[in-house]
Amino acid sequence: MMKLLLLWLCLFQADFLMYPAVISPQDPSLLIGSTLTVNCSVSADSNLKAEDLYWTLNGRRLLVETYRVLGPGTLSVTLSNLNGSQQQSGDNLVCHSKEGGSILAGTCLYVGLPPAKPTNISCWSKNLKDLTCRWAPGTEGETYLHTNYTLKYKLRWYGRDNTCQNYHTAGPYSCHIPKDLALFTPYEIWVEASNRLGVAISEVVMLDIVDVVTTDPPSDVHVSRVGDLEDQLSVRWSAPPALKDFLFQAKYQIQYRVEDSTEWKVVDNVSNQTSCRLAGLRPGTVYFVQVRCNPFGIYGSKKAGIWSSWSNPTAASTPRSGRTQGVCEPKSGEHNNTLRRELKQFFGWMRKHGSSYHCANLSIKMYDQWRVSLQKSHKTRNQVLSGDKS
């Protein structure tokens, strides 16, 4: 029962006139540690008296020692050293009738802290089209009260204040400005935090969109073998297409790992090429490869740019190093295929002619027998063919 009450939204104020008693003050907001006295007054024409009343806070009955009868129809309760509200929508303080416990009136109680100054504002623009900012809610943390964060921005010098509209796009403390952004004029950006107990405004951050550009990860990453070099893989990708109309430079990073490891190795200095050869790899091993892009120097910006996220992993394996000394491997695939075909035929022949033999008894002797039979059949076929021709 108590659990259920705690889950109620605190919504008494909307229709408290329906209730047969009045609570004052209504919906107070207080700092943690405060002391509060609240009155419950039943109407004069009611046959209830102060002695017929009791209080609950979030469904829990409050101790009689905290009550005071202030008049024939008024009972007060005093709450001291208040804790932060158990729910941001407020605690439920309710005045009941002892007869059946019915609710006579209720109020919400907001106990918490004023917001702290938001900090650590950081912003990035994807392909110069938009702006996303993120911040931290300040050092004090929990306020116990619903706290609104508003990101505001204006063009420096002559702009007027704008309010960002799309919140929570990149985490709980973030906002996205999708369009109508100017390049080459710095913006002033700040965050206002407000709740029932106060307002706190962050420092103003100044930034130019061209200095905080990031882009999509390369979408077309190809990883391929370098001939039959068993310790190398070649990685190719293309420059971010969304930035092709802008003057910019790009640098890239590659990271790769073997299939059964979680540890990525980063190739840090790919600079502005769109391909790179990974060397010193393990032969016959599957590698996962990711690439990311940092577009910088947009229209001559001197800032470092912001790395994109990593591309989806692309996998490839290095060639196996099967070259045992003294064994002459067939070079071309055709030879390899020939060998495979012959073996297949051999095993077929085995099944037909060698049902009495076990696998363990496979011997070169049998292989020789098979070769002989093969040669015989070639001869007969050739004879048949040449016979047809004549």
Ligand X SMILES: *[C@@H]1O[C@H](CO)[C@@H](O)[C@H](O)[C@H]1NC(C)=O
Q: Which residues bind ligand X (CB under 6 A)?
A: 24-25, 39, 70-71, 74, 76, 79, 81-83, 119-120, 136, 148, 194-196, 268-269, 272, 322, 329-330, 336, 339, 358, 360-361
- Smallest separation, CB 79 to ligand X (Å): 6
**CB-nearer residue toward ligand X: 130 or 192:** 192
**CB-nearer residue toward ligand X: 356 or 386:** 356
* Residues 6+ positions from 81 with CB-CB distance below 8 Å: 33, 34, 35
**CB-nearer residue toward ligand X: 17 or 360:** 360
**CB-nearer residue toward ligand X: 83 or 377:** 83
- Smallest separation, CB 27 to ligand X (Å): 12
- Smallest separation, CB 136 to ligand X (Å): 3
**CB-nearer residue toward ligand X: 60 or 156:** 60
What CA–CA distance (Å, rounded) separates 202 from 134?
A: 12
Residue pointed to by tokens 């009941």 = 96
Comparing CA positions, the residue from 185, 30, 374, 26 lying closest to residue 366 is 374
* Residues 6+ positions from 321 with CB-CB distance below 8 Å: 230, 283, 284
**CB-nearer residue toward ligand X: 71 or 348:** 71
- Residue type at position 188: E
- Residues counted in the chain: 390
Token code pair at residue 195: 């709740």
- Smallest separation, CB 157 to ligand X (Å): 28
Comparing CA positions, the residue from 77, 115, 116 lying closest to residue 95 is 77
- Smallest separation, CB 212 to ligand X (Å): 15
Q: What pairing do the DSSP bridges indicate for beta strands 162-163 and 148-155?
A: antiparallel
Q: Is the dihedral of CA 135, 136, 138, 141 positive or negative?
A: positive
Helix (H, G, I), strand (E, B) or coil at 288: strand
**Residue 105 DSSP symbol:** E
* Residues 6+ positions from 252 with CB-CB distance below 8 Å: 218, 237, 270, 271, 272, 273, 274, 276, 291, 292, 293, 294
Contact 197, 173 (CB under 8 A): no
**CB-nearer residue toward ligand X: 227 or 387:** 227
- Smallest separation, CB 359 to ligand X (Å): 8
- Smallest separation, CB 265 to ligand X (Å): 9
Contact 63, 27 (CB under 8 A): no
**CB-nearer residue toward ligand X: 24 or 234:** 24
Contact 348, 324 (CB under 8 A): no
Comparing CA positions, the residue from 177, 175, 200, 185 lying closest to residue 121 is 175
- Smallest separation, CB 185 to ligand X (Å): 26
**CB-nearer residue toward ligand X: 155 or 303:** 303
388 CB neighbour count, 10 Å cutoff: 7
- Smallest separation, CB 288 to ligand X (Å): 18
